[in-house]
Amino acid sequence: MKNILIPTRRAFLQAGAAGVAASGFQPLWAQEPVVPLDQYQPEFLSGAEWSFIMAATARLIPSDGDGPGAIEARVPVFIDRDLAGPFGQAADWYMEGPHEPGANPDFGYQTPLTPAEIYRGGIARFDEWCVAEYGAAFADLSTESQDAALNALETDAERAEEALGPAAGEGEQATNETAASPAGQGGQGGAGGNENGAQTQTTVRIMPDELRDFFALLVQNTKEGYFSDPKYGGNHQMASWVYIGFPGARASFLEWVDKDNIPYPLGPVSINGERA
């Protein structure tokens, strides 16, 4: 066992029951009941979008096996709050035009859309594709179909990169229009033509260029919600930190520098003073 010296919550409560009672200590999260996810009122996401985020994050970090899943970690709450805040509005990013959303991916984020707009458009487009491909919106699919659909979305995002891979764009404007399937055309996978003779791509892309960052954002934000401090709404009870053995915000380890291959004995703390 990797984290054999890190007490589980149950072991901690059992072993230290007397001490806990004497000090009146209770973990902060035990004092503040959280709203169950099925009663949570999203700040940004619509009902259908919330259903998608619940379903998608549950496949990106599933609940079965060791450690918490995205649902137990309350990742959907993190994503909803994040999109309602400065991150969702691209508040820190340079968003002036002109925009070249189909540019060589080496040049990064080039869409005119904010992350909130990418989620809004991306979820709608992906659900539309799921209906065409599997006969139902993503949230209503079997977990097997959901995994297959996410794999297709990931491949689609990789294809967007490869279409303008490292050698492309040399000697010409880095502004190629890739063969996108614009949202609203209901493109069937696998049947596409390609308007750009320079590319050999024959498959219609699920996401148009403006939305090509959707999958990467979804995966990144899911992991952020899983691993960030609980004050942001995810990583409920610091369960992801307990799972991997990260002590959170302890931030003082000088005496452990020379403790070779000995697991650190204390569980995580959060910025607001919770212990797990």
Q: Restricting to residues 160-189, name those near other proteins by CB under 8 A.
A: 166-167, 169-175
For residues 70 and 81, what is the distance between their CA atoms, to the nearest angstrom? 15
Q: Minimum distance from CB of 17 to other proteins (Å)?
A: 27
Q: 202 vs 231, which CB is nearer to other proteins?
A: 231
Q: Residue 241 interacts with other proteins (CB under 8 A)?
A: yes
Q: Of 54, 88, 52, which is closest to residue 73 (Cα–Cα)?
A: 54
Which parts of 15-74 interact with other proteins (CB under 8 A)?
59-62, 64-67, 69
From residue 195 to residue 234, the character string flagging contacts with other proteins as x (rule: CB under 8 A) and all else as - is: ------------------------x--xxx--xxx--x--
**DSSP codes, 264-276:** -SS--B-TT--B-
Q: Of 92, 98, 126, which is closest to residue 112 (Cα–Cα)?
A: 98
Q: Of 249, 246, 245, 257, which is closest to residue 273 (Cα–Cα)?
A: 249
Q: Minimum distance from CB of 264 to other proteins (Å)?
A: 6
Q: Minimum distance from CB of 20 to other proteins (Å)?
A: 22
Q: 63 vs 202, which CB is nearer to other proteins?
A: 63
| 3-state SS assignment for residue 56 | helix
Q: Residue 266 interacts with other proteins (CB under 8 A)?
A: no
Q: The tokens 């003082």 sit on which residue?
A: 252
Q: Residue 251 interacts with other proteins (CB under 8 A)?
A: yes
The stretch near other proteins (CB under 8 A) out of 14-22, 127-135, 188-196, 247-255 is: 247-255
Print burial letters for 156-169: b (CB count within 10 Å at least 16), e (below 16).
Answer: bbebbeebbeeebb
For residues 204 and 193, what is the distance between their CA atoms, to the nearest angstrom? 7
Q: Minimum distance from CB of 182 to other proteins (Å)?
A: 22
Q: Of 256, 255, 242, which is closest to residue 2 (Cα–Cα)?
A: 242
Q: How many residues bind other proteins (CB under 8 A)?
A: 74
Q: Minimum distance from CB of 200 to other proteins (Å)?
A: 18
Q: Of 4, 7, 2, which is closest to residue 19 (Cα–Cα)?
A: 7
From residue 90 to residue 129, the character string flagging contacts with other proteins as x (rule: CB under 8 A) and all else as - is: xxxxxxx-x-x--xxxxxxxx-------------------
